[in-house]
Amino acid sequence: MTAPQSQRFSQRQTMRRSDFEAFFYSDDYIRDVAMHHHDFFEIYLFLSGRVQYTVESRHYELMPGDILLISPQELHQPVFSREEQAPYSRIVVWIDADWIRRLGSLYACDPCCCFDVADPAHTNLLRLSGAERKPVFDLALSIIGREETSDAFSELLAAVQLLELLVRLNRLRARERARGGQEQALSGTLETVVGYINANLTERLTLDRLAEHHYISKYHLSHLFQRAMGTSVFRYITQKRLILARQLLLTDMPLRQIYTRCGFATYSSFYRAFRGVYGISPRDYRRSVSEPRQT
């Protein structure tokens, strides 16, 4: 199946629909994209260009045809080569977590298990042969095509194609687990530090304390973190705390409890960090989450 016309790339990181969205992008030049996260599942199908991808504590050197499966709340970031290269082309599919889980509850299998970060053999990368890759990419392109037709059944057909895509990815992931996966993990030290941060977000986490706890020079830890993760230790901790805060803002928990539980010393520091990343205050975000989205 031939690729559709390229869409204009946007750094929008929120869904406008309540089910799924699909995009085809091809750019000769793209600005750096900051480390970020989503509240939805993302299937990223790499076509051409030169890009490295960091997802949490994993670093991937992508090859054309590679697929990344990114779960809600996983911090990730593409890092681009500035050398002369082919256009940076990719297909991206976003899937609303609540929608696909409701759909999956009708069956005896979980269509999202290929994203499972709790799996000891978890990796975001799928690297397929050409024969395996073609039907997967064709399905993704067909899903994009729903935006170009007004047929009454196009929405239903796209949903069916998305389910078939997820079935294929789950079967391929199961086969990968059996033969050990192909991820490129970061060093054991950094993996341990990242795990410690995620388990202790409510504690006082500083570069000095992390270095002391893990018996490593803070300068070495800072350099290792920046080189491998593409961000500073402080920014990573802040991002992970804000992810937790957004989840808690969906509950009735008072704001004071939320910011202290997320490791912020004062509301003002929480407010500045939240607004700096999401462009909205915590109170306004809490009010906005109940607004209906397009279906």
Give pLDDT tens digits for 173-198: 888 776 654 444 455 678 788 889 98
The reported pLDDT for the residue numbered 237 is: 92
Handedness of CA 159, 161, 165, 168 (dihedral sign): positive
Mean pLDDT comparison of 26-30, 78-82, 116-120, 134-138, highest-scoring range = 134-138
Phi, psi dihedrals of residue 11, rounded to the nearest 5°:
-85, 15
> Can you tell me the distance from the alpha carbon of 114 to that of 117, in angstroms, rounded to the nearest whole number?
9
Question: 10 Å Cβ neighbour count for 73?
Answer: 18
Q: Which of 6-10, 36-40, 47-51, 67-71 has the lowest mean pLDDT?
A: 6-10
Domain coordinates in residue numbering, the chain: 20-178, 188-288
Residue 80, C-beta contacts closer than 8 angstroms, at least 6 positions apart: 30, 32, 49, 50, 51, 88
* Span 229-235, average pLDDT: 83
* Domain 20-178 bears CATH identifier 3.20.20.80: no
Beta bridge partners of 239: none
The class (CATH top level) of 188-288 is mainly alpha
The reported pLDDT for the residue numbered 185 is: 45
* Span 91-104, average pLDDT: 92
DSSP state at residue 291: S
The reported pLDDT for the residue numbered 147 is: 60
Would you say 191 and 57 are in contact if contact means Cβ atoms under 8 Å apart?
yes
> Can you tell me the distance from the alpha carbon of 274 to that of 276, in angstroms, rounded to the nearest whole number?
5
- Cα 10 to Cα 7, 31, 114: the distances in Å are 9, 11, 27
Strand intervals (E) in the chain: 20-27, 41-48, 51-55, 58-61, 67-70, 76-80, 88-95, 125-126
| 255 pLDDT above the threshold of 80 | yes
Helical axes 233-248 vs 188-199, angle rounded to 10° = 40
Written as six digits, the tokens of 118 are 């709790």
Pair type for strands 41-48 and 67-70: antiparallel
Written as six digits, the tokens of 73 are 């709340």
| 13 pLDDT above the threshold of 50 | yes
- Dihedral class, residue 180 (left if φ above 0, else alpha if ψ from -120 to 50, else beta): left
Average pLDDT, the chain: 84
